[in-house]
Amino acid sequence: MKQRLLMLLLFAVVVALLVGLNAASYRQKPRQPDTEGYANRSSFNPGATGTQAWYSLLAESGRNVVRWQEPMSALSTGKVSPSVLVMVGYARRDITDKDTEAILRWVAGGGRLVLIYRQAPEGLAVTSTDWQASLTSAGNLELFSVDPSDQRQMTAGVDAVHPVQPGLFTEQVNAIQPSKFADNIRLSYVPGNARKVVDAMGANAGPPPFAKPPSPGPVRDLNAPVIYYAKGAANLVVELPYGSGSIVLVSDPYMVSNGGISLADNARLATNLVDAGGGLIAFDEYHQGYSSDSNRFFQFFEGTPVVAIFFQAVVLVGLVFYSQSRRFARAVPESEMDRLSKLEYVSAMAELQRRTRAWDLAIENIYSDFRRRAARLFGIDVKAATSDALSKKIAERGALDPAAVRETLLKCEEIIRGEPTNPREAVRLCAALRNIERGLGLRRGRDSS
């Protein structure tokens, strides 16, 4: 017992020491402020570069909007398939080739992909027409120094932009206000591009899930990219047809961010981009690092010493269990049974009396102990007390039959003096003495001796 207590105390001391060392050596990593150079476009982010305001606007206006935290393969194979997928800004998880293939296959089946980037992910800004789209960026270093929460800094020298032509994304929009970091969406006509896209989809993903399969012969797609907003020669919002769906490119994430969505008609533009006639609108949080398979426990304690302390405690517990199952010295001899037990002595005496048929000796031991404790209860001398006097006091105290008590006491004394007896009578007398003890409330134990 002492050894276990010592081990528990030692374990508690070691754990306390580990906690102290981790707490002393831990330095809280300062939270990196939101900057346009390293923006956090997640809908969970309430900062200036986040999109929480846009998400809340859609949710509070009654639209069916969710945060998509499943792999991209679930867009087509999941229980619920969205009508619109929104991908904004820098991705904290790489967009793999499998992700790109799954997204484009979903778009070709009729989905709408809204890409809001200054530099769109490779392989997603594509179209199934004889056109190609690319985003060009000047690489302004001011992105890392400007305050995204200061609207004057973000829009200095930039006028509001009016729609180029009417359409779904210009409804009820008079003008939008981009930032001075808005990039240009370049469009170039490339004959044969549509055929290449269709062939690539057929080779990599099976038959393209178009609403209508392409007719044989040269591909002559009458569809073309649609420009909705442009600032001079720079295109800001462009819709690219892709199969039965479309890919919408927006070159300035600031217009839908928490810091810029309130300017001009930016909020209305943001709403128009995702309106899908009641369909599900999904914000891509999977590539922002919020996947459904992430460990919530470690995410909650991320950036604190609790995770390190947890692993150290697990290792320590493992060492304790390992040490308990290993022997580091010679084997300890097996402990011998204690032969001085009182119960064993009583059992041996009872067995001896049974084998020698010494029933009178058993009665003598039991009656002498009873007489001594009864005399002590009444405060009389056990040697001077007669059987008649003792039986009367016992009968009065225990509300027992005086004659039966006197007969039991006298019979025990006669057997002690030599009168023969048998096992049945010895058991009867012992039972009678035990009943008298219960009537008197005598308890057997150390207190009664």
Average pLDDT over residues 262-285: 93
> Is there a domain that residue 328 lies in?
no
Average pLDDT over residues 1-18: 70
pLDDT confidence of 289, banded at 50, 70, 90?
confident
Q: Calculate ∠ Cα 150-152-155, nearest 5°.
A: 110
Closest Cα partner for 247 from 116, 381, 397?
A: 116
The residue type of 373 is R
Residue 71 sits in the same domain as residue 199? yes
pLDDT at 304: 66
pLDDT at 448: 46
Average pLDDT over residues 83-90: 92
* Boundary of a domain, candidates 300, 330, 359: 300
pLDDT at 64: 93
> Is there a domain that residue 47 lies in?
no
Name the more confident of 190 and 303.
190
Residue 136 sits in the same domain as residue 221? yes
Residue 288 sits in the same domain as residue 368? no
> Is there a domain that residue 324 lies in?
no
Question: Minimum mean pLDDT among 8-12, 62-66, 156-160, 327-331: which range?
Answer: 327-331
End-to-end CA distance of the chain: 32
Q: Residue 296: pLDDT above 70?
A: no
Residue 106 sits in the same domain as residue 255? yes
Closest Cα partner for 55 from 268, 242, 221, 283?
A: 283
Residue 64 sits in the same domain as residue 150? yes
Name the more confident of 6 and 108.
108
pLDDT at 217: 38
pLDDT confidence of 206, banded at 50, 70, 90?
very low
pLDDT confidence of 327, banded at 50, 70, 90?
low
pLDDT at 338: 61
pLDDT digits (tens, 9 = 90+) for 169-186: 999 999 999 999 998 999
> Is there a domain that residue 23 lies in?
no
Q: Residue 237: pLDDT above 90?
A: yes
pLDDT confidence of 236, banded at 50, 70, 90?
very high
Residue 365 sits in the same domain as residue 421? yes
Residue 193 sits in the same domain as residue 85? yes
> Is there a domain that residue 425 lies in?
yes
Residue 429 sits in the same domain as residue 372? yes
Question: Minimum mean pLDDT among 60-64, 99-103, 273-277: which range?
Answer: 273-277
> Is there a domain that residue 370 lies in?
yes
Question: What pTM did the predictor assign?
Answer: 0.60
CA atoms of 420 and 359, how far apart (whole Å): 9
Residue 415's CB is within 10 A of a number of other CB atoms, namely 21
> Is there a domain that residue 35 lies in?
no
Cβ-contact 267, 21 below 8 angstroms: no
Residue 295 sits in the same domain as residue 391? no
pLDDT confidence of 205, banded at 50, 70, 90?
very low
Most confident of 13-22, 57-66, 132-141, 352-361: 57-66
Question: Minimum mean pLDDT among 247-261, 271-285, 349-363: which range?
Answer: 349-363
> Is there a domain that residue 143 lies in?
yes
Question: Minimum mean pLDDT among 145-159, 237-251, 315-329, 373-387: which range?
Answer: 315-329
Residue 58's CB is within 10 A of a number of other CB atoms, namely 20
pLDDT at 219: 39
* Boundary of a domain, candidates 300, 323, 357: 300
* Boundary of a domain, candidates 300, 321, 356: 300
Q: Residue 152: pLDDT above 80?
A: yes
Structural domain span for residue 422? 345-440
pLDDT at 203: 46
Residue 172 sits in the same domain as residue 103? yes
pLDDT at 429: 86
Residue 270 sits in the same domain as residue 361? no
Q: Residue 235: pLDDT above 50?
A: yes
pLDDT, averaged across the chain: 81
pLDDT at 449: 42
Tell how many helices (H) and how many strands (E) occur in the chain.
14, 9
CA atoms of 109 and 119, how far apart (whole Å): 25
Q: Residue 276: pLDDT above 70?
A: yes
Q: Residue 316: pLDDT above 70?
A: yes
User: What CATH number is associated with residue 111?
Assistant: 3.40.50.880
108 CB contacts (<8 Å, ≥6 apart)?
128, 201, 208, 209, 210, 242, 243, 244, 245
Residue 161 sits in the same domain as residue 243? yes
Alpha carbon of 56 to those of 43, 63, 91: distances in Å?
Answer: 9, 10, 21
Cβ-contact 121, 100 below 8 angstroms: yes
The number of distinct structural domains making up the chain is 2
CA atoms of 159 and 282, how far apart (whole Å): 31
pLDDT digits (tens, 9 = 90+) for 397-446: 878 888 888 888 888 888 888 888 888 888 888 888 888 888 888 776 54
**31 token code pair:** 């939270």
